[in-house]
Structure 1
């Protein structure tokens, strides 16, 4: 009896060793799907218990991972993993360094690029465009005037109800406390206009999405950048000190998969952020545009999840997941509903009714969640492929973030490498990146860049990353 048990244990170890060697030799590559437990048992002639032991052994070594409702995937190799970028150390003072010229150059050069890694967008090939087109025809048939009429100021009611149902991590969220907007940045702009006045200070993560920086500057707000960890987000102690010193009038945080770091704020940090802003009566604009693109088993909570005071204004959209050009976004404004509604009336009157109807129907039929499951798997695999390529090709000592969701990577080079210079050389080879200086108003991140992995992985992408690596190696000499 003992001999049979020993044979079974030996079998699971032998199979695990074979698979481990295949991973080491790139026979099984990052992102490859492994057989289901049933298929495994047929292929190797084992019991399910043995199959589970094999996968557990590989999972314990960080070589494979499970994905919800999808199965087992290769997630790592036996090679070294790049280190994480360092925690940012911005100045405690506000700063207003100009980055507009660089921003315009990056955007104006994007169209002719054969490999566009600069923009945080999903490729058309990953979007259900045919289904959206059918939805547009359906919406034209159902809406008054085929969608040409103005909608409600607060937004399409069907869409608001579907948003409330989809946002199950926010307790007691009602469609009555949701206002639609023209994308997430429009929601954020309404919030900034309502909450701040010229000369006020807004606290943000560092680095932070350049659109937030430019919007704040255009409204006359001073920007205070706070230290941020590449995995856990804003440093709570830094936020606490700024609040206690009465240095800030409002905050903007990306609690889930921030842009550009991809950081995910732990639940205990989110609770502490909400506690702090409530204590000091400072409102928080929460940008949750990437929250649906999670790689774990469950959608992460938001700061809004723990808000009981109405001080958190939750903003999001489907621009990063479904239809960027539809410009469908929303805000749950908490205690500031009347002010946000008034601001929308002054600036827009109403949102585009027909695109809202299309998205409402997409959510109502369950097509959105079905699409998200496939998109999450693709983006997760892509992130692993990019990290593998950076590990294999880029100069030694290159650091890279390890996001648990979203669609961007933050890469940190040696101080000798200037990513604006890297950008200028890369565009000549048909590759665009987003230099790190775009994501700050201070003199920092000159040796960093953001890469988008929201596109199908292929040989062309691999070659593009090799080209970036070759240029970086030249600059590093």
Structure 2
């Protein structure tokens, strides 16, 4: 049926697993505690023993519990409780010009997969792409649309895709209509166009610190300045600090990733998002919201985005299917509120249209419920991989290393001891066939000199574990040389 809405269903065993996971996260169940037997939990929850086995198996895959022969299941040691969060950088007092492009270009280079372990990537590996289902969608739309798939789909974009994206807004408590959306060539084009719609050369944009280097490059290319705002590795932008900064500096717009910031992985509580939107509305300041990672959450439900609290059309929501379906599709979108007419004109002037075939294929993929099923598997894979990566980092990296504990997304932000220079470390490990990213490319002020970002997009293989061991060993050697 055309108007049927497909929402992700949580199975009974997943509900039980999530309930137990919360107890572990809240330390109600502590490391070493014995779990209830399968039989007793099945009686208590009034479910089959098979359902309990499935729940325990899921928790075991996530690294939360472990089975001991002839003894039962036990809570595993949790690195979350033993780890300090990386420190947050303070608000930069004055707007500054951005000069990061040449530095970023030195580190963002394609690597041959057969010669390097690439931990610098922040996107799904080939093994996690729904290749077969995407092929089916492409073949289906070619049969259905024939030559029309090779014609322009002028802005705002393919009508069916606009409709499917509008339906997705139900997942985060929104209510977008297809008339509010414009399709773009990925999320970065959406951000670029939205920036041009609300600000001019020389204007100041408030950003998170640290933030995605691609955002910094875009702002630099437009000749705009940035004002870096304190960002907590767990809860995101400090709204109080932002308010103080806005009192002292004229800001044309804010550009934030509130759900699973790259590189921090921070997620702002929904109540703070509402407060942020109200603060900016009082001052008539537009908010460009990058929500490209909002669907990759590890909890029970998707976090809301700022757009769901927008009553004045001042939030320009930007997203893409690059991080969830496939990077090479280059299908992104924006819901720019009161700026839609200007954004639509800028989209046409910039690139005329997004590829029609890819738009139709993504629409078909969404319409047939494939997106929700794929996301479910992707979130589980990333959650499992994140826990394994963190465990290896704590095992091999120097004492005093601080690591984020992201609740979604696909990257880990690591603070090394202060005497470890991340750029030097990056150069050393690259010569040994390992790619990482230094923290300085995530700040216009080139802060975070002893930080690195690692993506957990690749499956945790012996090669990946060895790469983390080598990074840790090199960092320890740097410390020994400087002590």
TM category, shorter: 0.7 to 0.9
* CA deviation after TM superposition for structure 1 residue 254, in Å: 0.5
* TM-score, length of structure 2 as denominator length: 0.84
* CA deviation after TM superposition for structure 1 residue 47, in Å: 5.7
* CA deviation after TM superposition for structure 1 residue 138, in Å: 1.4
Alignment of structure 1 residues 15-54 onto 2, 5 Å: 41=38, 46=40, 48-49=42-43
Please name the residue that 1:300 is paired with.
303
Alignment of structure 1 residues 213-224 onto 2, 5 Å: 213-224=216-227
User: Aligned-residue CA RMSD in angstroms?
Assistant: 2.5
* CA deviation after TM superposition for structure 1 residue 108, in Å: 2.3
2: CA distance between counterparts of 1:171 and 1:91?
33
Instruction: Quickly say closer, same or farther: Cα 1:434–1:167, change in 2 above 3 A.
Output: same
Q: Deviations over 1:174-205 (max 9, x none)?
A: 01100000000010001011111011000000
Is the contact between residue 291 and residue 305 of structure 2 (CA under 8 Å) also seen in structure 1?
yes
Asked if residue 74 in structure 1 is aligned to residue 76 in structure 2, the reply is no
2: CA distance between counterparts of 1:366 and 1:300?
21
* CA deviation after TM superposition for structure 1 residue 429, in Å: 1.2
Q: Deviations over 1:38-89 (max 9, x none)?
A: xx63xxx54624689xxxxxxxxxxxx979x966643351566221001212
Instruction: Quickly say closer, same or farther: Cα 1:466–1:51, change in 2 above 3 A.
Output: farther
Out of 365, 368, 388, which is 2:371 matched to?
368
Out of 401, 413, 416, which is 1:410 matched to?
413
Is the contact between residue 204 and residue 225 of structure 2 (CA under 8 Å) also seen in structure 1?
yes
- List gaps (5 residues or longer) in structure 1: 1-15, 17-22, 29-33, 53-64
* CA deviation after TM superposition for structure 1 residue 136, in Å: 1.2
Please name the residue that 1:10 is paired with.
none
2: CA distance between counterparts of 1:469 and 1:49?
46
* CA deviation after TM superposition for structure 1 residue 293, in Å: 0.1
Q: Deviations over 1:416-438 (max 9, x none)?
A: 00110000001111110010011
Alignment of structure 1 residues 263-412 onto 2, 5 Å: 263-412=266-415
Please name the residue that 2:94 is paired with.
93
Instruction: Quickly say closer, same or farther: Cα 1:142–1:71, change in 2 above 3 A.
Output: farther
2: CA distance between counterparts of 1:104 and 1:263?
25
Please name the residue that 2:137 is paired with.
135
Is the contact between residue 98 and residue 219 of structure 2 (CA under 8 Å) also seen in structure 1?
no
- List gaps (5 residues or longer) in structure 2: 1-23, 25-30, 47-53, 65-75
1: CA distance between counterparts of 2:380 and 2:98?
39
Is the contact between residue 331 and residue 358 of structure 2 (CA under 8 Å) also seen in structure 1?
yes
Is the contact between residue 426 and residue 437 of structure 2 (CA under 8 Å) also seen in structure 1?
yes
2: CA distance between counterparts of 1:90 and 1:47?
49
* CA deviation after TM superposition for structure 1 residue 284, in Å: 0.3
1: CA distance between counterparts of 2:222 and 2:319?
21
* CA deviation after TM superposition for structure 1 residue 152, in Å: 3.1
Tell me how many residue pairs correspond in the alignment.
Answer: 431
Asked if residue 162 in structure 1 is aligned to residue 164 in structure 2, the reply is yes
Is the contact between residue 124 and residue 326 of structure 2 (CA under 8 Å) also seen in structure 1?
no
* CA deviation after TM superposition for structure 1 residue 315, in Å: 0.5
**Secondary structure of the corresponding residue to residue 268 of structure 1:** helix
